[in-house]
Amino acid sequence: MGNKRDLKRLCYIEALEDNVVGVEMILNRFNQIEDKKGIFDSYILTHDKTKTTLDLELSLATLCILLRKMSENLMVVIPSELRRDMNSIIHSNRFEYNRFEVVVYSQKGRELVDLRGLLRFCHSILDSDKVRK
């Protein structure tokens, strides 16, 4: 870790990894909620799903802001379609999730977000950083 730029990159990569893990944990929570159907009262499951959706919205927005910062610091190049999805997540005023499908609503209207593509992009950054070491 020679210089400030290396340290900054390390901090961003660690934050990216933490954020990706957080998003994936939230996605796993949706599966756990689905597995509890018929076991727990539907009110409880609806409450859990609503809270988990809000957690996902905030986690994805945080992840998108981090990716933007990485782009502004010339650490990554974000493809234009992914940049559009990231902006949609950050600027949305309504957010829906259903089985890996994210729909956001903003002044532009209803937009479908490529969640798998976003996570693939994040993993490609993390994988390429491991190769660098």
Q: Would you say residue 129 has pLDDT above 90?
A: no
Q: Across all residues in the chain, what is the average pLDDT?
A: 92
CB neighbourhood size of 16 (10 A)? 22
Domain residue limits at 50? 4-132
Total structural domains in the chain?
A: 1
* pLDDT tens digit sequence for 78-103: 999 999 999 999 999 999 998 889 99
Long-range contacts, 26-31 (Cβ 8 Å, 24+): 26/52, 26/55, 26/56, 26/59, 27/56, 27/100, 29/55, 30/97, 30/99
